């Protein structure tokens, strides 16, 4: 008997550039764990990896145009790649996986439905929450875009066969958008606890960076307005008045860095850091602040927790679902600098409490394993493909007998 061929997965992602953000980091965790005896992949993207990254499966690049306010996140133009349809037909995917609902995801969904192929989606980015940041000076237009965006999300995701949602709090927000509960399954994020761990603390390194005798409040992110940078800057101002020994450390880069440097003149800006350098900054800080309300998960929050750093996060979006308020960190009122200041002060002023919360955060993070999560995802692929598999002649005959139809 011939062996069963591997399941073929066509994965559509606007961006496959390595180390760009939490979305691409998640994708690479999945890619590293693909069981090659069970799966074959074809990647379709408009922003491929750099030449130093060699993916184990082929990559098709489609044309793109840069998004004016954020050039790292292009608008894909799949219909302008004349060979894409032929490549998909030749590959004959058994399942299609999309990571965004926009032009590339729409192309993938249309192809899948036309061919009768199941389509799954990972919900990485809460795009409708971005609207107020990009249209904040046009409130009427913002409301129109918000209404249209919710309608589009409803239309798109209710046509997918399965949606991997990172937290219960985000699932609840999607339910409010009209997305059907039966299509959603919670699929969190893992953490590399060999890389991110409390033992990487380096006091000498942090003293050189921030000065001796200081307390360090860390923020890690791409520097874009939708990360709620204005709230961050206002919290910084409050601490300048009440806690002169506190130094804010901003790790990351992005188009809003210069504006943020002007708003936080005495903060330490490290630029973008990865791997061991990033892990050292986490473990060597005292408190993690993350005011963003646009996250579906917040990988940086889990990285901070794994490093023994108690986080103070906005009580909205993904981070709310991974931080247990008062146990592994604190929730603060969204866009409320005074509440962030109060919650962080509780940790700065009480090192014993901060240590207890940091230890509880690290204990929680150690249980979030990529191997387990990826095993669950690959198993769900197999269940979906089996459910969509066409009946053989024998199976059709048996089905008709059960129905009492003469054959």
Give residue 391's pLDDT: 44
Residue 114 pLDDT greater than 80, yes or no: yes
Query: What pLDDT is attached to residue 405?
Result: 32
Mean pLDDT of 28-52: 93
Q: Could you tell me the pLDDT band of residue 395, with boundaries at 50, 70 and 90?
A: very low
Q: What is the DSSP string of 346-393?
A: HHHS-HHHHHHHHHHHHHHHHT--HHHHHHHHHHHHHHHHHHHPPPPH
Which residues in 155-184 are b (16+ Cβ under 10 Å) and which e? Answer: ebbebbbbbbbbbebbbebbeeeebeeebb
Confidence of residue 317 (pLDDT cuts 50, 70, 90): confident
What would the 3-class secondary structure string for 109-157 be? HHHHHHHCCCEEEECCECHHHHHHHHCCCCHHHHHHHHHHHHHHHHHHH
In this prediction, residues 285-313 reach a mean pLDDT of: 94
pLDDT score of 129 = 59
Q: What is the pLDDT of residue 173?
A: 85
Q: Structure tokens of 358?
A: 């940091």
Mean pLDDT score of the chain? 89
Q: Assign 24 a pLDDT band (cuts: 50, 70, 90).
A: confident
Res. 132: pLDDT tops 80: no
Which of 76-85, 221-230, 328-337 has the highest mean predicted lDDT (pLDDT)? Answer: 328-337
Range 217-237 burial, b when 16+ CB lie within 10 A, else e = bbbbbbbbbbbbbbbbbbbbe
User: What's the distance, CA 12 to chain centroid?
Assistant: 15
Which alpha helices (H) appear in 21-119, and where do they start and end? 22-32, 84-91, 103-115
Q: Is the pLDDT of residue 109 over 90?
A: yes
| pLDDT, tens digit (0-9, with 9 covering 90-100), for 54-103 | 889 999 999 999 876 666 677 899 999 999 999 999 999 999 999 989 89
Phi, psi of 14, rounded to the nearest 5 degrees = -55, -40
The per-residue pLDDT for range 170-183, each reduced to its tens digit, is: 898 889 889 999 99
Computed on alpha carbons and rounded to an integer, the radius of gyration of the chain in Å comes to 23
Query: Per-residue pLDDT tens for 346-390?
Result: 999 999 999 999 999 999 999 999 999 999 999 999 999 998 876
What is the pLDDT, as a whole number, of residue 127? 64
Length of the chain: 407
> Could you report the per-residue pLDDT of 139-173, keeping only the tens digit for each?
676 676 766 678 888 899 999 999 999 888 889 88
For range 24-33, the mean pLDDT: 91
Q: Give pLDDT, residue 278.
A: 96
CB atoms within 10 A of CB 328: 22
**What percentage of residues in the chain have a pLDDT greater than 90?**
71
* Top-confidence residue, 318 or 313: 313
Q: Residue 83 has what pLDDT? A: 94
Per-residue pLDDT averaged across 42-62, rounded? 91
111, 88 Cβ separation under 8 angstroms: yes
pTM above 0.95, yes or no: no
What are 188-202's pLDDT values in tens digits?
A: 899 999 999 999 999
Q: Do residues 99 and 23 touch, judged by C-beta distance below 8 A?
A: yes
> To the nearest whole percent, how much of the chain has pLDDT over 70?
88
Question: Residue 232's pLDDT is what?
Answer: 98
pLDDT score of 205 more than 50: yes
H/E stretch holding 303 reads: helix 299-306
Q: Taking residues 45-52, report their average pLDDT.
A: 89
- How much is the average pLDDT of 325-343? 98
Domains of the chain: 7-190+370-398 (3.40.50.2000), 198-366 (3.40.50.2000)
């Amino acid at each position: 008997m011939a062996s069963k061929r591997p399941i073929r997965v066509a994965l559509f992602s606007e961006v496959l550039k390595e180390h760009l953000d939490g979305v691409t980091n998640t994708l690479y965790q999945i890619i590293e764990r693909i069981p090659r005896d069970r799966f074959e992949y074809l990647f379709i993207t408009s922003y491929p990896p750099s030449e130093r990254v060699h993916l184990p499966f082929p990559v098709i690049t489609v044309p793109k145009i840069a998004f004016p306010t954020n050039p790292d996140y292009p608008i894909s133009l799949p219909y302008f790649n004349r060979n894409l349809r032929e490549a998909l037909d030749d590959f004959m995917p058994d399942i299609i996986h999309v990571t965004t609902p926009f032009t590339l995801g729409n192309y993938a969904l249309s192809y899948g439905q036309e061919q009768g192929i199941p389509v799954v989606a990972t919900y990485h980015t809460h795009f409708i929450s971005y609207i107020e940041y990009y249209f904040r000076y046009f409130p009427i237009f913002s409301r129109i875009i918000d209404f249209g965006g919710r309608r589009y999300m409803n239309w798109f995701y209710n046509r997918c066969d399965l949606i991997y949602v990172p937290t219960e709090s985000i699932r609840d927000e999607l339910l409010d958008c009209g997305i059907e509960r039966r299509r959603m399954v919670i699929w969190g994020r893992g953490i590399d606890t060999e890389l991110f761990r409390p033992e990487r603390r380096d006091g000498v390194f942090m003293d050189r960076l921030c000065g001796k005798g200081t307390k360090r409040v860390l923020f890690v992110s791409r520097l874009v307005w939708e990360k709620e940078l204005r709230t961050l800057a206002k919290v910084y101002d409050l601490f300048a008045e009440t806690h002169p020994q506190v130094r804010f450390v901003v790790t990351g880069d992005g188009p809003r860095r210069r504006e943020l440097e002007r708003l936080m003149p005495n903060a330490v800006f490290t630029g973008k850091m990865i791997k061991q350098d990033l892990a050292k900054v986490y473990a060597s800080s005292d408190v993690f602040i993350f005011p963003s309300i646009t996250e579906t998960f917040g990988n940086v929050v889990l990285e901070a927790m794994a490093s023994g750093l108690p986080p103070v996060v906005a009580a909205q979006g993904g981070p709310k679902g991974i931080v247990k308020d008062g146990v592994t960190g604190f929730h603060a009122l969204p866009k409320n600098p005074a509440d962030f200041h109060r919650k962080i002060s509780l940790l700065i002023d009480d090192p014993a409490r901060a240590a207890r919360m940091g230890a509880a955060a690290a204990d929680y993070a150690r249980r979030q394993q990529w191997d387990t999560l990826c095993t669950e995802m690959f198993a769900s692929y197999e269940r979906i493909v089996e459910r969509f598999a066409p009946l053989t002649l024998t199976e059709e005959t048996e089905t008709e007998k059960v129905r009492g139809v003469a054959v």
